[in-house]
Structure 1
Amino acid sequence: MWCSTTPSFNVALPSLGVQLHASFGGLQWVVDAYTLTFAGLLLAFGHLGDRFGRRKVMMLGLVGVAIMSVGGASATDLGQVIAARAAMGVFAAAVFPATLAMIINIFTDVKERAIAIAAWTAMAGFAIAIGPTAGGWLLEHFSWHSVFWVNIPVAVVILVFARLLVPESRAAHTGRLDVVGIALSLLSVTALVWTIIEAPNQGWLSPISLVGFVFAVVCFAVFVRWEMRTSSPVLNMSLFRIRRFSLPAVAIMVAYFSMFGFLFMITQYFQGVMELSPLQFGVHSLPFAVAIAVGAPLATLIAQKVGTTAVIVFGLVVMSVGMFIAGQVNVETPYMGPVLVSMVLMGLGLAIVQGPATESIMSSVALDEAGAGSAVNDTTREAGGTLGVAVLGSIVASVYTTKVGPRIDAIPDFLMTANEKSFARESVIAVLEMVKRPTNPAFAQQKADLIYAMKAASLEGFQLASYVTVSASLLVAVVIAIFLPWKPADGSVLLAWKERSNP
Structure 2
Amino acid sequence: MEPTQTPSPLHNRSIVLLFICCGIFMVYLDSMIVNVALPSIRSDLHVGISSLQWVIDAYTIAFACLLLTAGNLGDSIGHKKVFVSGLIGFTVASLLCAFAPSIGILLIGRALQGMMGSMMIPVSLAIIRGIYQEPASRAKAIGIWAGIGGLALAVGPVAGGLLVEHFGWQSIFWINIPLGLLSAVVLSRVLKETRTRRPQKQDLPGQILFIAGISALTYACIEGNSLGWFSSPILLAIGSVVVCLILFVRWELRCEEPLIPLDFFRNRIFNVACTVNFFGFFGMYVVIFLLTLYLQNINHYSALETGIRFLPLTISIMVASFVGSTIASRIGYLKLIIGGTFMVGVGVLVLTVLKEGSGYLTYGWALALVGIGVSFIGAASTIALIEAVPPERVGAAYGVTNTFRQLSAVFGVALSGALISQHMDASALEITPEIFIQGFRSSFYIAGIASLIAGICAFVFLGNRTRAQIKKDVAQ
Q: When the two structures are superposed, what TM-score results if normalisation uses the length of structure 2?
A: 0.81
CA–CA separation in structure 1 for the residues paired with 2:137 and 2:327 = 14
Unpaired stretches in structure 1, ≥5 consecutive residues: 406-418, 429-453
CA deviations 1:400-453 (Å, max 9, x no partner) are x39xx9xxxxxxxxxxxxx9xx422xx34xxxxxxxxxxxxxxxxxxxxxxxxx
Aligned to 1:481: 459
CA–CA separation in structure 2 for the residues paired with 1:313 and 1:111 = 32
From 23, 27, 32, the equivalent of 2:57 is 32
Bigger drift between 342-351 and 92-101 goes to 92-101
Change (3 A) 1:110 1:363: farther
Q: Is the 8 A contact 2:218 2:414 kept in 1?
A: no
1:135 equivalent in alignment to 2:160: yes
AA of the residue aligned to 1:386:
V
AA of the residue aligned to 2:326:
L
Displacement of 1:286 in angstroms is: 1.0
Aligned to 1:154: 179
CA–CA separation in structure 2 for the residues paired with 1:217 and 1:122 = 39
Q: Is the 8 A contact 1:246 1:361 kept in 2?
A: no
Q: Is the 8 A contact 2:94 2:113 kept in 1?
A: yes
CA–CA separation in structure 1 for the residues paired with 2:140 and 2:462 = 22
From 260, 265, 287, the equivalent of 1:235 is 260
Please state whether the residue corresponding to 1:234 is helix, strand or coil: coil
CA–CA separation in structure 2 for the residues paired with 1:393 and 1:71 = 26
Aligned to 2:429: 423
Aligned to 1:58: 83
Q: Map 1:102-251 to 2 at 5 A.
A: 123-124=148-149, 127-128=152-153, 130-156=155-181, 158-159=183-184, 170-172=195-197, 175-204=200-229, 206-251=231-276
Displacement of 1:498 in angstroms is: 6.4
CA deviations 1:152-173 (Å, max 9, x no partner) are 2333455467668877654436
CA deviations 1:49-91 (Å, max 9, x no partner) are 2322344322221111012222222333443322222221221
Change (3 A) 1:481 1:351: same
From 417, 428, 453, the equivalent of 1:393 is 417
AA of the residue aligned to 1:79:
G
AA of the residue aligned to 1:475:
I
CA–CA separation in structure 1 for the residues paired with 2:224 and 2:150 = 27
Aligned to 1:377: 401
Displacement of 1:251 in angstroms is: 0.8
Displacement of 1:345 in angstroms is: 0.7
CA deviations 1:75-118 (Å, max 9, x no partner) are 33443322222221221121233345566778899999998777
Please state whether the residue corresponding to 1:256 is helix, strand or coil: helix
Displacement of 1:326 in angstroms is: 1.4
Displacement of 1:353 in angstroms is: 0.9
Aligned to 1:69: 94
Q: Is the 8 A contact 2:222 2:417 kept in 1?
A: no
Change (3 A) 1:165 1:361: farther
Please state whether the residue corresponding to 2:429 is helix, strand or coil: helix
Change (3 A) 1:126 1:376: farther
AA of the residue aligned to 1:478:
I
Change (3 A) 1:457 1:316: same
Q: Is the 8 A contact 1:197 1:386 kept in 2?
A: no
Displacement of 1:26 in angstroms is: 4.3
CA–CA separation in structure 1 for the residues paired with 2:381 and 2:130 = 18
CA deviations 1:130-167 (Å, max 9, x no partner) are 42211111122213221111112333455467668877
CA deviations 1:428-484 (Å, max 9, x no partner) are 4xxxxxxxxxxxxxxxxxxxxxxxxx2x44333333322212211111101111213
Tell me how large the CA RMSD over aligned residues is.
3.7
Q: Map 1:425-440 to 2 at 5 A.
A: 427-428=431-432
Q: Is the 8 A contact 1:320 1:473 kept in 2?
A: yes
Change (3 A) 1:497 1:84: farther
Change (3 A) 1:212 1:76: closer
Bigger drift between 246-255 and 384-393 goes to 384-393
CA–CA separation in structure 2 for the residues paired with 1:170 and 1:216 = 35
1:466 equivalent in alignment to 2:471: no
CA–CA separation in structure 1 for the residues paired with 2:178 and 2:391 = 32
Q: When the two structures are superposed, what TM-score results if normalisation uses the length of structure 1?
A: 0.77
Q: Is the 8 A contact 2:57 2:409 kept in 1?
A: no
Q: Is the 8 A contact 1:118 1:296 kept in 2?
A: no
Indicate the structure (1 or 2) with the bigger Cα radius of gyration: 1
CA deviations 1:374-424 (Å, max 9, x no partner) are 54233212221121122223223434x39xx9xxxxxxxxxxxxx9xx422
Bigger drift between 231-240 and 173-182 goes to 173-182
CA–CA separation in structure 2 for the residues paired with 1:486 and 1:157 = 53
Q: Map 1:317-396 to 2 at 5 A.
A: 317-335=342-360, 337-361=361-385, 372-396=396-420
Unpaired stretches in structure 2, ≥5 consecutive residues: 1-23
1:296 equivalent in alignment to 2:321: yes
CA–CA separation in structure 1 for the residues paired with 2:429 and 2:272 = 41
Q: Is the 8 A contact 1:104 1:370 kept in 2?
A: no
Count of aligned residue pairs for this structure pair:
451
AA of the residue aligned to 1:46:
G
Change (3 A) 1:398 1:33: same
CA–CA separation in structure 2 for the residues paired with 1:108 and 1:127 = 27
Change (3 A) 1:332 1:79: closer
Please state whether the residue corresponding to 1:275 is helix, strand or coil: coil
Bigger drift between 298-307 and 173-182 goes to 173-182
Q: Is the 8 A contact 1:62 1:91 kept in 2?
A: yes
AA of the residue aligned to 2:446:
V
CA deviations 1:148-206 (Å, max 9, x no partner) are 11112333455467668877654436654433333333333333333333334334565
Instruction: State the identity %.
Output: 31
Aligned to 1:408: none
Displacement of 1:298 in angstroms is: 1.0
Q: Is the 8 A contact 2:35 2:289 kept in 1?
A: no
CA–CA separation in structure 1 for the residues paired with 2:223 and 2:396 = 28
Displacement of 1:212 in angstroms is: 2.3
CA deviations 1:30-61 (Å, max 9, x no partner) are 33332332233223223322322344322221
CA–CA separation in structure 2 for the residues paired with 1:318 and 1:82 = 34
